[in-house]
């Protein structure tokens, strides 16, 4: 992880029709257990359009220099992960929670496991429980990552 990645990495999972995937060559990258399909850049738009039921983020890795600046919408685009958590907490306290979970879904999904790894109070635990419950209603096909993975 480096400055270009924001000192973070995310593992994703998605489904495509098997007959479409057969046209792409599988490559071994790094080691035998690391396999991926190589999709030519000129075919990415069609590839993305063929994704079934969206993309799931299944794991998140954060380096020591991670600050969580996820450029998603106007409200969060300049805030660090800690500042974003403060904004989420404030909206939860003020009853604007659902709107924020819709508008800032990219940043929230990217930072949720990072936030949960920070020292927590009872109030934050309650916030996270409510966030998970509301998220599952608003985004039933996009699970929140609950545990932070250490970057190596």
Domain borders along the chain are 3-61, 64-150
DSSP E strands in 16-138: the ranges are 25-28, 35-38, 52-62
Strands 52-62 and 149-150: parallel
Whether 114 shows a pLDDT value over 60: the answer reads yes
CA distance 99 to 90: 13
CA distance 10 to 13: 10
Q: Quote the tokens at residue 72.
A: 């998603």
| Residue from 150, 73, 145 nearest 115 by CA | 145
Cβ proximity of 12 and 57 under 8 Å = yes
The Cβ of residue 46 has, within 10 Å, a number of other Cβ atoms equal to: 10
Instruction: Provide the whole-model pTM.
Output: 0.73
Collapsing DSSP to helix, strand or coil, 98 comes out as helix
For 26-84, what is each residue's pLDDT tens digit?
A: 888 877 788 888 899 999 999 999 999 888 888 888 888 888 877 666 788 888 888 99
């Amino acid at each position: 992880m480096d400055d270009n990645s924001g000192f973070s990495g995310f593992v994703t999972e998605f489904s495509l029709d098997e007959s479409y995937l057969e046209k792409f060559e599988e490559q071994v990258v790094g080691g035998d257990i690391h396999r991926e399909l190589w999709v030519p850049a000129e075919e990415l738009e069609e590839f993305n359009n063929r994704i079934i039921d969206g993309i799931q983020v299944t794991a998140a890795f954060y380096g020591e220099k991670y600050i969580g600046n996820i450029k998603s919408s106007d409200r969060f685009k300049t805030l660090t992960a800690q500042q974003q958590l403060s904004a989420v907490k404030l909206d939860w306290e003020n009853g604007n929670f659902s709107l924020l979970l819709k508008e800032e879904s990219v940043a929230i999904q990217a930072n949720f496991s990072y936030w949960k790894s920070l020292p927590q109070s009872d109030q934050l635990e309650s916030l996270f429980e409510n966030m998970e419950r509301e998220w599952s209603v608003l985004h039933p096909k996009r699970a929140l990552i609950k545990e932070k993975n250490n970057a190596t």
